[in-house]
Each structure stands twice: as C-alpha cells, then as structure tokens.
Amino acid sequence: MLPTELIDLMNKLGVFPCVLGTTDKEGSIHMTFITWVYPVSEKILRFALSSGSKSAKNLQETGKACFMFFSPEKALACYGSVQMVLERIEEVKFPVSVFEMRVDRVENNLFPGATITGIIPFAHTGDLEKMVELDNAVIEAMRSV
C-alpha cells in the first residue's frame, strides 16, 4: 500500500512527478511522465490524463497500470487496476479525464548501498500563472470526483 510519507508529500506538493506505465490489448507497453496525481487513501490513487493520450486509450482498453514514484528514500513501483471516474473536467479548456487506480501491489526498488535523494526534478515553463490555474482546476476535479 502507499506509504503515509509519500501520501503526505503528494498532498503537500499538490502536483507530483511520476512515471506511468500502461499497456494496450496486444501487450505493447507505453510509458509517460505525469504530475496530476492525487492519493485518496493508501489504496486509492486518482490521476488525470489528456483524454486523447496513448495512456488514456490504453487504460480504456486494459484497465491496468503501474506507477513509479520517486521520493526521498523511496523508489516504489505501484501496480493496480484502473477505471475512468470522470470523462471530462468541465473547467479545463482541453479534454482531460480523471482515472482511479486501486493499488494491488507496491514493490520497493531500493537496493542496499544506494538510495533516492529527492523527487523527479521538474518545473513549469511559459506562462506560470496559467499553468498554476490549470493545475489547480485539475487538482480540484480529482479531489471532488
């Protein structure tokens, strides 16, 4: 299950950088980088994707996903089953859908003699005000589904 320290950090930051792995029905794997994730509990994780993305299409096809989360002293692979809980966030100008994962398994990828010292570094570029506005609209939608 998702550790409390990770849940607390995700909630504190609002957006959280992570890697999402999905597969289509032929078993072809797809990886992408996202930041719109919201932990509802230690077993339930919501996240938002551009509706036309390959990841969103794969999830509609197979309903299976894996997240890779990096945070101080943690490298966690979280596997689970996924369903769409909101087809489109009305407040956002382009199509964004909200998905929910039931976490079935969490694997700790740490290795003796090494650790993770932070989260994946990322920054918004361009119009910061608009990006924050977009992030807030998506976060609010993920919280209130």
Ligand X SMILES: Cc1cc2nc3c(=O)[nH]c(=O)nc-3n(C[C@H](O)[C@H](O)[C@H](O)COP(=O)(O)O)c2cc1C
Query: Which residues lie near ligand X (CB under 6 A)?
Result: 32-36, 48-50, 53-55, 122
Which residue is it, tokens 């029905």? 25
Q: Shortest gap between Cβ of 13 and ligand X (angstroms)?
A: 13
Q: Which is nearer to ligand X, 76 or 134 (CB)?
A: 134
**Residue 84 carries which side chain, given as an amino acid letter?**
M
Q: Which is nearer to ligand X, 21 or 114 (CB)?
A: 21
Q: Shortest gap between Cβ of 31 and ligand X (angstroms)?
A: 8
Question: Strand 64-71's sheet: what is its strand order?
Answer: 29-34, 18-23, 64-71, 74-86, 96-108, 44-50, 37-39
Q: Shortest gap between Cβ of 57 and ligand X (angstroms)?
A: 8
Taking alpha carbons only, the member of 62, 70, 6, 81 closest to residue 33 is 70
Q: What are phi and psi of 3, to 5 degrees?
A: -70, 150
Q: Which is nearer to ligand X, 48 or 82 (CB)?
A: 48
Q: Shortest gap between Cβ of 144 and ligand X (angstroms)?
A: 17
Q: Which is nearer to ligand X, 52 or 72 (CB)?
A: 52
- CA gap 54, 49 in Å, rounded: 10
